[in-house]
Amino acid sequence: MSPKIKEKQKPLLEVVNLKKYYPIKKGIISKTVGHVKAVDGISFSVYPGETMGLVGESGCGKSTTGRSIVRLDDPTDGDVIFQNKNLANLSKNEMRKLRTDLQIIFQDPYSSLNPRKRIGDLLAEPLRAHKLAEGEEIERKVNNILEIVGLTKYHKSRYPHEFSGGQRQRIGIARALILNPKLIICDEPVSALDVSIQAQVLNLLKDLQKEFNLTYVFIAHGLGAVKYISDRITVMYLGKIVEIAPTEEIFNQPRHPYTKILLSAYPVPNPHMRNREQIVVEGDVPSPANPPKGCAFHTRCPFAQPICREKTPPLDGENHQVACHFPLT
């Protein structure tokens, strides 16, 4: 368990056996003949003040997980328990209230910012919608939040298109932050940004976490960023969790072959290491509409045994959980 998590602390967010299936329809009467299992029964907990990194390749279900947690997508099955409340059982009104505590920021903030509204109005909007402030209070809060994310109050009268990618992401962060949330789902917040700008935004997220005691679920495919910001990391493959462990352990002693391969595939910005031992797996990620039987990774796993083709390995372990019949040591 990471140092930030105290013994016997209650999780802020619990995801229990979450499933999100999309039906595949066929035939004259559009009969459902199968499902794309975007997220297929995953469970994990996030503790107050920590950052849970969620990594995996495209199609592994990491973004769907994030969207299901904040109920942008309705899960097919399973529970999301936030602050001891099961989100599935909440009324619309209760959910609305809870939303101020549960925010999400996206990869491309531009598409989530109304292009015809000024930044000042965009930031005031959530405050008005949730009736959290009025009149001058709004003005003060907006000015304050702009300063916190590294912009100035003079930016208020500008429109989204007048900002660069990094600045827009700052606006996206400000919009989530202004409601004073407890948990922020960060869905690939730096993937679309230039390297030098990524660092700025990552630093900002880290500073804000310290200052406001925020909890993050940080979704990304770039391992560097995830390592930098996360306390613990969840690795996903084809809609399932293959490994959950504290960041240092994931990087130093990965136990699932997929995690190890993912780490090894990452190009290292050091030319002296170019001839290192590297495991390159052949083949593509199978389609989530038709995932392999048994362990989903067995089709590409260099260590696969007969049992891997038959039985799905459960996610096992205490602090370091792994779903593999033959975990690495």
Question: Tokens representing 315?
Answer: 């996610």
Task: Compare residues 58 and 152 and give the one whose CB is closer to another protein.
Answer: 58
What CA–CA distance (Å, rounded) separates 50 from 321?
Answer: 17
Is 227 near another protein (CB under 8 A)? yes
What is the residue-wise DSSP string for 7-34?
A: TTPPPSEEEEEEEEEEEEEETTTTEEEE
What CA–CA distance (Å, rounded) separates 19 from 185?
Answer: 18
Is 206 near another protein (CB under 8 A)? yes
Out of 38, 80, 123, 261, the residue judged to bind another protein by CB under 8 A: 261
Is 4 near another protein (CB under 8 A)? no
Is 122 near another protein (CB under 8 A)? no
What CA–CA distance (Å, rounded) separates 82 from 45?
Answer: 10
The nearest distance, CB 139 to another protein, in angstroms, is: 27
Task: Compare residues 83 and 191 and give the one whose CB is closer to another protein.
Answer: 191
Contact predicate 14/193, CB 8 Å: no
Is 323 near another protein (CB under 8 A)? no
Is 164 near another protein (CB under 8 A)? yes
The nearest distance, CB 131 to another protein, in angstroms, is: 36
Question: Between the CA of residue 158 and those of 113, 116, 143, 171, what are the distances in Å?
Answer: 12, 10, 14, 12
Contact predicate 67/86, CB 8 Å: no
Using the contact rule CB under 8 A, the part of the chain among 141-149, 175-183, 217-225, 304-312 near another protein is 217-225
Size of the site for another protein (CB under 8 A): 49
Enumerate residues 36-65 that contact another protein by CB under 8 A. Answer: 57-58
Contacts of 114 (CB under 8 A, 6+ apart): 122, 160
x/- contact string, 72-111, with another protein (CB under 8 A)?
Answer: ----------------------------------------
Is 196 near another protein (CB under 8 A)? yes
The nearest distance, CB 37 to another protein, in angstroms, is: 18
Is 158 near another protein (CB under 8 A)? no
Query: 151 pairs with which residues across the strands?
Result: none
